[in-house]
Amino acid sequence: MPTQRNKICFLLPDLSRGGAQRIMSFLAQNLDKNLFDCTLLIVNPPQNTDFKLENVNIKYLNKSRLLHATYPLFKFLIKERFHIVIGSIGHINMILGFYSLFLNKTKFVGREASLDTIIQKYNKPKRSFGIGKFFRDYRNRLDAIICQSEDMALDAIQAYSLNKNKVFTVNNPLTISVPKDLNNSASNSQKKLITVGRLSEEKGHKRILNVLSKIDLDWHYTIVGSGIEKDNIEQQIESLNISNKVTLIPHINNVTELLVDFDVFLQGSFVEGFPNATMESCAVGTPVVAFKAPGGTREIIQPSINGYLADDQDEFSKFIKVALTEKDWDRKAISKSITSKFDSKLILSQYENIFLSLTKN
């Protein structure tokens, strides 16, 4: 056991309900405390959060924007002398790349949030001028890049000419509690379908709705999420004349408890980083029908064991029908396919090994 614990700072803009916030706060709370002294550093002032925050040192810079926090953040990092500082959102990682030029005794790590070259087709980046050009190559100034899926790692290496030896693939950990009793029987009457995720174009809600409108079964579809595509999705629901068969819920705290009660989870995404909701659905025994897409989906779905992966809308429709009416799902086996692969202790050990290798070097 080392005489001195490695000091790690997990830097986030806020503690909203985003996936990056949830995973980073989980890591800060659960890394081996004999090896690591963790601080969760938040740019924004304190706010309500859905995450459990226990046994972790939380500091707030109390700034409304990262731009206003760059100098106090720099002073804080100098004062605390962290061995490792890790960020998980683009503009956070960008500023860490800049700080790496001055704090050469600190290892800076960026956790990638998406497949940049593909997601830009849906969320076009703003034009950058002046100092923005200087920051463009920030990934190459970081000491390590952590990617959530194999596709994400390959995309980052190819797109930004990264040294593959400093790019690590670590899937997200399963952070929810899995119910002990999983019911193997699907509903016998109306089939209950669900999607959980941000309402944005790349999530593919529209193509799911197109498919469902043509399925001749007694079904009801619940969409949990909010986002800029809400009005367009509502208009499509109305134009397809399925308003009485679709329910939109902006947000819910007990997503796990909700997922257990559904027959099938639907994922329509054109691209994914690592779809946590898809993983969590399988973890509680609810199978998934998803489109094949770049990202971590294929690392979660095991065809015929916990779901299906479709090439196109016709196959997506076929798999929904199979999942609802033909397949006799073993919900305990579905759950085990996830809990054995994405167990939080396993993922935590992968992060710990990366951090220890950085400090040794």
Q: Give residue 169's pLDDT.
A: 97
Average pLDDT, stretch 33-54? 89
- Report yes or no on 126 lying in a domain: yes
- Report yes or no on 1 lying in a domain: no
Average pLDDT, stretch 184-200? 83
User: Percent of the chain, pLDDT > 90?
Assistant: 78
- Report yes or no on 16 lying in a domain: yes
Q: Is the pLDDT of residue 24 over 60?
A: yes
Q: Is 320 helix (H, G, I), strand (E, B) or coil?
A: helix
Structural domains of the chain, count: 2
* Domain span holding position 16: 6-173+343-360
- Report yes or no on 323 lying in a domain: yes
Q: Are residues 335 and 351 in the same domain?
A: no
Q: Is the pLDDT of residue 72 over 80?
A: yes
Q: Is the pLDDT of residue 42 over 50?
A: yes
Nearest residue to 292 (alpha-carbon basis) of 50, 87, 278, 280: 278
Q: Is the pLDDT of residue 186 over 60?
A: no
DSSP string, 102-165: T-TTSEEEEE--S-HHHHTTTSPPPP--THHHHHTTGGGGSSEEEESSHHHHHHHHHHHT--GG
**Main-chain phi, psi angles of 343, to 5 degrees:** -55, 135
- Report yes or no on 27 lying in a domain: yes
- Report yes or no on 186 lying in a domain: no
Token pair of 300 as six digits: 């979660």
Choice between 19 and 288, residue whose per-residue pLDDT is larger: 288
Report the alpha-carbon distance of residue 17 to residue 227 in Å, rounded.
Answer: 13
Q: Are residues 122 and 256 in the same domain?
A: no
Average pLDDT, stretch 5-33? 92
Q: Are residues 129 and 246 in the same domain?
A: no
Tell me the CA end-to-end span of the chain in Å, nearest whole number.
Answer: 18
Give residue 145's pLDDT band: very low, low, confident or very high (50, 70, 90): very high
Q: Are residues 322 and 355 in the same domain?
A: no
Q: Is the pLDDT of residue 51 over 80?
A: no
Q: Are residues 227 and 90 in the same domain?
A: no
Q: Give residue 136's pLDDT.
A: 72
Q: Is the pLDDT of residue 19 over 60?
A: yes
Q: Are residues 232 and 165 in the same domain?
A: no
Give residue 192's pLDDT band: very low, low, confident or very high (50, 70, 90): very high
Q: Are residues 22 and 161 in the same domain?
A: yes
- Report yes or no on 252 lying in a domain: yes
Q: Are residues 161 and 195 in the same domain?
A: no
Q: Give residue 129's pLDDT.
A: 42
**Main-chain phi, psi angles of 107, to 5 degrees:** -90, 130
Report the alpha-carbon distance of residue 193 to residue 151 in Å, rounded.
Answer: 28
Q: Are residues 102 and 70 in the same domain?
A: yes
Q: Is the pLDDT of residue 2 over 50?
A: no
Which helix (H) or strand (E) is 71 found in, with range?
helix 66-80
Q: Are residues 23 and 126 in the same domain?
A: yes
The pLDDT tens digits of the residues spanning 80-119 come to 999 999 999 888 999 999 999 999 999 999 999 888 878 7
Which helix (H) or strand (E) is 289 found in, with range?
strand 288-291
Q: Are residues 203 and 152 in the same domain?
A: no
Instruction: Write the CATH number for 294.
Output: 3.40.50.2000
Chain mean pLDDT for the chain: 91
Q: Which of 35-44, 136-145, 234-243, 350-359 has the lowest mean pLDDT?
A: 136-145
DSSP string, 10-75: EEES---S-HHHHHHHHHHHHS-TTTEEEEEEESSPP---SS---S-EEEE---SSHHHHHHHHHH
Q: Are residues 168 and 276 in the same domain?
A: no
The pLDDT tens digits of the residues spanning 333-347 come to 999 999 999 999 999
